[in-house]
Amino acid sequence: MPIYEAISSTNPIRVMIVDDSAVIRGLTTRILNEDDEVEVVASVGNGKLAVSNLARYDVDVVVLDIEMPVMDGLTALPELLKIDPTVKVVISSTLTARNANISIQALEAGASDYIPKPTSTADIHSGGGFRRELMDKVKALGQARRQKVKPAAKAEVKVGEPRVPVSIKKVDHSYTLRNAGISNPKILAVGSSTGGPQALLEFFKGLSPSINVPVVLTQHMPPTFTTILAQHLSKMTDWDCREGIDGEELKTGTIFLAPGEYHMVVAEKDGKKVIRLNQDPPENFCQPAVDPMMRSVVSNFGSNVLAVILTGMGADGQKGCEEVVNNGGTVIAQDEETSVVWGMPGAVAMAGTCSAVLPLKDMATHVMNFISKGR
């Protein structure tokens, strides 16, 4: 069941491209304009021009470069959000440690997602890779913005043509809660994607390592980005967060984060629970993916699993969470109002696997209370 209804070709998602490279602006514009449900309404070469254009046009999604003359992306971001707090910003950057660090800062400052710039012409022109990721993220974020913005507040984006607001029909997102599992959780498994870095920071700031269980985490991110994310979570919370290493034993007080391009699962070796990494095919178009992680914790911990699904596009984690509850474990999800995109948490909620669907600010307390009751 789709979380959002289909976009109308008569009311397409409106995008602004911001990049100092005319080549990148051109190819990004061509890719997006191939789909009738998306329209590039502005294409500019620096952050200052982006700010002035956003003040003129109604834009759903901004694809924002980091390194630009006049005004860079990190400087432009708060100015864009000041003009329109509802606009969704996708950071576009190359996969370097420096850019990954800046991108994580941008995500923590309010950007919604990120996309690695293409590294080859094959990636640009193939049906997958950069092309698919760009289109999927623009559509998901554009839909999410429209679900939260009153149509009457929108302005016309085409110069000289007054806009008649188009109603956006809300989709039925009803769900039924189930009873929580009664077993004592011995592992916390967390999945997240779009909007995840901000949500993870708030969640783990409120969650004490004194819960005394190991944490496994899959966040949809490319290599280098996961390294920087682990460093940021360790710096900004009381947790020791590290990328999982193949063969490393699970231990309490530690968050094991799936490295980019590797599925991370839990296995048993010599009577101990350890991390295993593999490069099996992507699941749900993701590598790392949440589903294989969830299946593995169920295989190794049975009913003693507490799963948390935070904001993210798509439905990765839904099938894995069904296995969690079918084996007696417990699932909670972030609510729609506080999610950047209610794809992953919405999928598990509407599948009937959740015992609670909560605002982000309440999730850490709920987890701590649930685990303490099982002691």
Q: Rounded to an integer, what distance in angstroms lies between the CA atom of residue 105 and that of residue 206?
A: 20
- Answer for the pair 225, 103: CB distance below 8 angstroms, yes or no: yes
Measured between its terminal Cα atoms, the distance across the chain in Å is 37
Cβ neighbours of 1 (radius 10 Å): 10
Q: Is 366 a catalytic residue?
A: no
Average pLDDT over residues 337-366: 96
Q: Is 125 a catalytic residue?
A: no
CATH assignment of 187-373? 3.40.50.180
Given the residues 192, 193, 296, 355, the one annotated as active site: 193
What's the helix, strand, coil split of the chain in %, to 5?
40, 20, 40
- Per DSSP bridges, beta strands 113-116 and 61-65 are unpaired
pLDDT computed for residue 130 by the predictor: 84
Question: Domain spanning 13-153: which superfamily?
Answer: Response regulator (3.40.50.2300)
pLDDT in tens, 22-75: 999 999 999 999 999 999 999 999 999 999 999 899 999 999 999 999 999 999
Between CA 17 and CA 128, with CA 20 as vertex, the angle to 5 degrees is: 55
When pLDDT is cut at 50, 70 and 90, the band that residue 154 belongs to is very low
Helix axes 196-206, 360-373, angle to 10 degrees: 40
When pLDDT is cut at 50, 70 and 90, the band that residue 126 belongs to is low
Q: Token pair 């996309």 is at which residue?
A: 115
Average pLDDT over residues 139-158: 68
Same fold for the pair 13-153 and 187-373: yes
Name the maximum alpha-carbon separation found in the chain.
72
pLDDT computed for residue 13 by the predictor: 95
pLDDT in tens, 291-328: 999 999 999 999 999 999 999 999 999 999 999 999 99
- Answer for the pair 254, 281: CB distance below 8 angstroms, yes or no: no
pLDDT in tens, 202-229: 999 999 999 999 999 999 999 999 999 9
Given the residues 84, 113, 220, 355, the one annotated as active site: 220
Given the residues 192, 316, 335, 355, the one annotated as active site: 316
Q: Is 173 a catalytic residue?
A: no
Query: Please, what sign has the CA dihedral across residues 278, 285, 296, 371?
Result: positive
- Report which of 242, 280, 248 is spatially closest to residue 261, judged by C-alpha positions: 280
Q: Rounded to an integer, what distance in angstroms lies between the CA atom of residue 321 and that of residue 306?
A: 10
Would you list the domain boundaries of the chain? 13-153, 187-373
How far apart, in Å, are the Cα atoms of 222 and each of 91, 101, 129, 306?
Answer: 13, 13, 12, 26
Q: Rounded to an integer, what distance in angstroms lies between the CA atom of residue 104 and that of residue 160?
A: 38
